[in-house]
A and B are shown apart, each in its own frame.
Chain A
Amino acid sequence: NAGVTQTPKFQVLKTGQSMTLQCAQDMNHNSMYWYRQDPGMGLRLIYYSASEGTTDKGEVPNGYNVSRLNKREFSLRLESAAPSQTSVYFCASSENWETQYFGPGTRLLVL
């Protein structure tokens, strides 16, 4: 099992450009999450999907949208990237709301 996979690994954007970060899990988990991690900080929740067909805002949702495409896949979209969105983005999944398993991250630089 690959666990949680994320694409791309690295991305450089110009201010105002859009992009979608992809996440997939093969553990048949119900819940999926998107976090961002800024230097020297813990992770902050952007959006989560408790189950297929539902999405909810986390702590820092502004500037982002998500889509729970199916049980396996949960994407994060930046419609108009800003330098403040430069960060490392992690996707995670869990069977319930507790133990979450994380992907390797996407490093995003917005110029």
Chain B
Amino acid sequence: GENVGLHLPTLSVQEGDNSIINCAYSNSASDYFIWYKQESGKGPQFIIDIRSNMDKRQGQRVTVLLNKTVKHLSLQIAATQPGDSAVYFCVTGAGSYQLTFGKGTKLSVIP
């Protein structure tokens, strides 16, 4: 079955620095990739997505990179702010309604 894992369960970053959150996936059929942010006591919030025919996509202060060769996904957050403190989930889809969530990386921003 699908196994979506993360290289680091926790990440501490100084305010103003850039953050990089990594994710490894195992399902070769995965063709859609999403990053969600979950703040304490809230539901997951969509950040950015990317399809398998792309290797990079940029949003506001966020960039997602996809390396299909090694089945690796990363989320880069520029100029990290205290409001970025949350758990970030790497999520994969393979053409069905069943998305697969990773366990999450907790990002802590140090003021």
Q: B103 touching A41 by the CB < 8 A rule?
A: yes
Total A-B contacts with CB atoms under 8 angstroms apart: 53
9-residue interface stretch from B13-21, B69-77, B89-97? B89-97
In the complex, chain A residues whose CB is within 8 Å of the CB of B36 = 102
Q: Output the nearest chain A residue to B93 by Cβ-Cβ distance.
A: A98
Q: A97 touching B103 by the CB < 8 A rule?
A: no
Q: Is A90 an interface residue (CB 8 A)?
A: yes
Q: B42 touching A97 by the CB < 8 A rule?
A: no
Interface residue ranges of A85-109 to B (CB < 8 Å):
90, 92, 97-105
Considering only CB atoms and an 8 Å cut-off, how many residues of chain A contact the other chain? Answer: 25
Give the docked Cα–Cα distance between A59 and B36 (Å).
Answer: 20
Q: Is B107 an interface residue (CB 8 A)?
A: no
Interface residue ranges of B27-57 to A (CB < 8 Å):
32, 34, 36, 41-46, 49
Q: A40 touching B93 by the CB < 8 A rule?
A: no
Closest Cβ of chain A to B29, distance in Å, is 14
Q: Output the nearest chain B residue to A100 by Cβ-Cβ distance.
A: B99
Q: B101 touching A101 by the CB < 8 A rule?
A: no
Contact-size category for B: 20 to 34
Determine which of A42, A99, A104 lies in contact with B4 in the assembled complex, contact meaning CB atoms within 8 Å: A42
Determine which of B49, B97, B101, B103 lies in contact with A99 in the assembled complex, contact meaning CB atoms within 8 Å: B49
Give the docked Cα–Cα distance between A48 and B103 (Å).
Answer: 21
Q: A104 touching B103 by the CB < 8 A rule?
A: no
Closest Cβ of chain A to B1, distance in Å, is 9
Interface residue ranges of A47-71 to B (CB < 8 Å):
48, 50, 56, 58-59
Q: A98 touching B98 by the CB < 8 A rule?
A: no
Residues of A within 8 A of B (CB): 4, 31, 33, 40-45, 48, 50, 56, 58-59, 90, 92, 97-105
Can you list 8 residue pairs at the A/B interface with Cβ under 8 Å? A31-B97, A42-B101, A42-B102, A42-B104, A48-B98, A90-B44, A97-B96, A98-B93
